[in-house]
Amino acid sequence: MSYVIVKYLHFIGILVLASSLMVEHVQLKADMSSAALRKVALIDLIYGISAGVILVTGLLLAFAVGKPSAFYMANPVFHAKVTLFVLIGLLSIHPTLFLLRHRNSTAASISVPKSIIMVIRLEMLLLLIIPLLAVLMARGIGV
């Protein structure tokens, strides 16, 4: 039963992460009001929390309630999947720092650098690859 609960929370975390990243992308504009930027910062917080849920539940699945950890550790597809997750996490630092710096701004208009929007697009692109790797793992590829 614990496997089912952890797996369910893992899936919910993935759905919330993907959804919040998409909403963040749609809401970001080149010029934003401080109120709009605060809303995006809140969405980014939800994104970060969901990444934490995915990380914790993923570790539980790999080392506590899922298949034996040897199954995961010997699988290069699993390592590629984790590497992409970590890369997405590292990429998300840049937009998060920008949002944290400007979330309490009183300026009428805040200019969002194009690099922030491009990083979020890159995160979304990389996020599309992770489910493919999960399916390959489930089919026994890489073992």
Could you give phi then psi for residue 113, rounded to 5 degrees? -60, 145
Q: What is the pLDDT of residue 138?
A: 84
Question: How far apart, in whole angstroms, are the C-alpha atoms of residue 92 and residue 123?
Answer: 7
Helix, strand, coil shares of the chain as percentages rounded to 5? 80, 5, 15
Question: How far apart, in whole angstroms, are the C-alpha atoms of residue 14 and residue 50?
Answer: 7
pLDDT tens across the length of the chain (143 residues): 899 999 999 999 999 999 999 999 999 999 999 999 999 999 999 999 999 999 999 999 999 998 888 888 999 999 999 999 999 999 999 999 999 999 888 888 999 999 999 999 999 999 999 999 999 998 888 87
Question: How far apart, in whole angstroms, are the C-alpha atoms of residue 15 and residue 17?
Answer: 5
Neighbours of 24 (CB within 10 A): 25
